[in-house]
Amino acid sequence: MTQQENIVKVLLVDDDELDRRLVKLVLVQSQGSVRFNIDTAASLSEALGKMQSGTYDIILEDMNLSDCRGTEIVEKVSAAVPNVPIVVLTGFDDDDAGLEAIRAGAEDYLVKGSGLEYTLVKTIRYAIERKKSKASLIEAKNELEQTNAQLMQTTIKANILAQEAEKANVAKSQFLANISHEIRTPMNAIIGFGEVLAEEPLGDVQKSYVKLILDSAKRLLLLINDILDFSRIEAGRMKVEKTECDVQELIANIESLMRPEATAKNLEFNVVCEQNVPPLIKTDSLKLRQCLINLVSNAIKFTEQGKIDIAVESFADNEKSFIEFRVTDTGIGIPADKHDAIFEVFTQADGSMTRKYGGTGLGLAVTRQLAKLLGGSIKFTSEEGKGSTFILSIPADVVHTCRKASSHDVIKEYNGKFSGEILVVEDSPANQLFLRRTLEKLGFTVSVTADGLQAIEAVQTEKFDLILMDMQLPNMKGFEVTKKLHSMGFKIPIIAMTASLMHEDEQQCRQAGSDDFIAKPIDCGLLIKVLCKYITQAEVVHTA
């Protein structure tokens, strides 16, 4: 139908001349908004021919033509012009025939004769509207089916991509585990021997060289750790392990680690831990320590004069307790327009600072992610030229037990001197030497074996108080040796040493029966702390 003119193009198919005239008359004389443009055909073949050359809004057709009869006419016409509505006009009022015509594809069924003038126009208009609605319904259905099919395709693709990404992630984590092991092992030797060398009687020039080597190696190690951490967080593989954490001890540890750096820059270094801070909380102390070290390192790094204040206090928010660690400096501050960016990866407030202060721009990104993993958050205030305050808050899940002795107390108690015999199972000659030197300095008698089989032999002939077991041994892996020793009934504490920091390795060591776990490069303070734990236990076992 031409909307503007409201003209309906009709093809009237009837072999009876009189009937054609009657219908034409009804349409022409109809009083309404619609006008009809009527074309006629006396047979089906003529009608089909006209349909090929012209377009119609409606087909009115008889059920009895000279070349075709009954519903077949409807079927053939609707096959030829599927989008054009068909109204059947017949001389007989036969309900069954009408239904059959509708089933064959007609929109309506009308009986010629009296009353046609009242029904025909309305029927035509309704038939056209119905056909249109049906067509748009079919179109919508088709579109829906198409969209569904596309959605299915997209879902399949997304699943494949997700699987590939997961595979890549696993491969990346594995790669990182391997590479971290490969890099951290020689770093262990570099830092270990650097420290040994620094204690030798050296000239000033040599001392400064050794210091340079040590500083660079430590910086490199920090960078490796940051990259490793960030990748692990990204891959969702950073696991949080909440255990008892002695807050005072943690702060003391950070103070003893960072104060020398601040003092070297002539900065005042104040630590205040408020009375209300619970002595023991449940958190992942290694990750908390890492966050604090990152914040304090930045404070020292970006401060040329003045002071660094570390304040620890506890507060409640909506009945939840938090511990807040505030690290305040009087350093260069952060320009207001960079406040939003500094937690982004590889972002530094001022690119030119990189050369002056060093750094990767990873520290705060990692710190924020770690804070999140701990259930906490991090925020800061800063004024350019005046200084910054970074505030880390974490949930204070209080542990209600007596305070443990801190490593400081224990070291004091031993006064730096131990006794007892330690077996070091380590294949790298550099690490063997480093551990022998360190342990002997602490007062231990040290035996060293380069592989697991020798270790098993040694344990059968000598009595050891503790075993330090490298996990990456040739032939028989450290955890296999540990298992074997357990199966042979030896109850000596075994401390696993590994350069790989992946969670799976730690689990594997623990499953094999390792009592504890120490990461390489070995931190002497941590080593002493672990030794204190087990040497005391070993003595108790011996005297029992």
The reply on whether position 330 binds ligand ADP by CB under 6 A is no
Tokens of 362: 């990873």
The reply on whether position 300 binds ligand ADP by CB under 6 A is no
The reply on whether position 361 binds ligand ADP by CB under 6 A is yes
Query: What does the alpha-carbon distance between residue 470 and residue 496 come to, in Å, rounded to a whole number?
Result: 6
The reply on whether position 359 binds ligand ADP by CB under 6 A is yes
Query: What does the alpha-carbon distance between residue 43 and residue 63 come to, in Å, rounded to a whole number?
Result: 11
The reply on whether position 353 binds ligand ADP by CB under 6 A is yes
Q: Choose the stretch contacting ligand ADP; rule: CB under 6 A; options: 248-256, 359-367, 392-400, 403-411.
A: 359-367
In angstroms, give the least distance from the CB of 292 to ligand ADP.
13
Q: In which element (H, E) is residue 383 found?
A: strand 377-383
The reply on whether position 521 binds ligand ADP by CB under 6 A is no
The reply on whether position 267 binds ligand ADP by CB under 6 A is no
Residue placing its CB nearer to ligand ADP in the complex, 102 or 227: 227
The reply on whether position 470 binds ligand ADP by CB under 6 A is no
The reply on whether position 296 binds ligand ADP by CB under 6 A is no
Q: Choose the stretch contacting ligand ADP; rule: CB under 6 A; options: 50-58, 85-93, 206-214, 295-303.
A: 295-303
Residue 470 β-bridge partners: 497
Query: What does the alpha-carbon distance between residue 477 and residue 455 come to, in Å, rounded to a whole number?
Result: 12
Q: Which of 173, 298, 330, 449 binds ligand ADP (CB under 6 A)?
A: 298
Q: Note every long-range contact of 51-57, with CB atoms under 8 Å and residues 24 or more positions apart, other chains counting.
A: 51/11, 51/77, 51/80, 51/81, 51/84, 52/80, 54/9, 54/11, 55/9, 56/9, 56/10, 56/11, 56/81, 56/84, 57/1, 57/8, 57/9, 57/10, 57/84, 57/85, 57/128
Query: What does the alpha-carbon distance between residue 310 and residue 257 come to, in Å, rounded to a whole number?
Result: 13
In angstroms, give the least distance from the CB of 219 to ligand ADP.
10
Considering only residues 366 to 405 of the shown chain, the ones binding ligand ADP according to CB under 6 A are 388
Residue placing its CB nearer to ligand ADP in the complex, 185 or 298: 298
Number of residues that bind ligand ADP (CB under 6 A): 22
- Least Cα distance to 9 among 53, 54, 41 occurs for 54
The reply on whether position 420 binds ligand ADP by CB under 6 A is no
Question: What is the C-alpha R_g of the chain?
Answer: 43
Q: Which of 10, 190, 299, 423 binds ligand ADP (CB under 6 A)?
A: 299
The rounded Cα 268 to chain-centroid distance in angstroms is: 40
Binding mask 95-134 for ligand ADP (x = CB under 6 A): ----------------------------------------
Cis peptide before 521 (omega within 30 of 0): yes
Query: What does the alpha-carbon distance between residue 332 and residue 292 come to, in Å, rounded to a whole number?
Result: 19
In angstroms, give the least distance from the CB of 483 to ligand ADP.
41
Q: Which of 225, 348, 406, 536 binds ligand ADP (CB under 6 A)?
A: 348
In angstroms, give the least distance from the CB of 178 to ligand ADP.
25
Residue placing its CB nearer to ligand ADP in the complex, 22 or 353: 353
Q: Which of 10, 12, 217, 349 binds ligand ADP (CB under 6 A)?
A: 349
Q: Which of 48, 77, 217, 334 binds ligand ADP (CB under 6 A)?
A: 334
Residue placing its CB nearer to ligand ADP in the complex, 91 or 358: 358
In angstroms, give the least distance from the CB of 144 to ligand ADP.
49
Residue placing its CB nearer to ligand ADP in the complex, 364 or 485: 364
Q: Is 105 left (phi over 0), alpha (psi -120 to 50) or beta?
A: left
The reply on whether position 309 binds ligand ADP by CB under 6 A is no
Residue placing its CB nearer to ligand ADP in the complex, 355 or 417: 355
| Residue 377 backbone phi and psi in degrees, to 5 | -155, 170
- Burial class of residue 480 in the structure, from the number of CB atoms within 10 Å of its CB (0-12 exposed, 13-18 middle, 19+ buried): middle
Query: What does the alpha-carbon distance between residue 162 and residue 151 come to, in Å, rounded to a whole number?
Result: 16
**Three-class DSSP category at 250:** helix
- Least Cα distance to 238 among 280, 282, 181, 286 occurs for 286
Query: What does the alpha-carbon distance between residue 306 and residue 330 come to, in Å, rounded to a whole number?
Result: 6
* Chain positions contacting ligand ADP, by CB under 6 A: 298-299, 302, 329, 331-334, 342, 347-350, 353, 359-365, 388
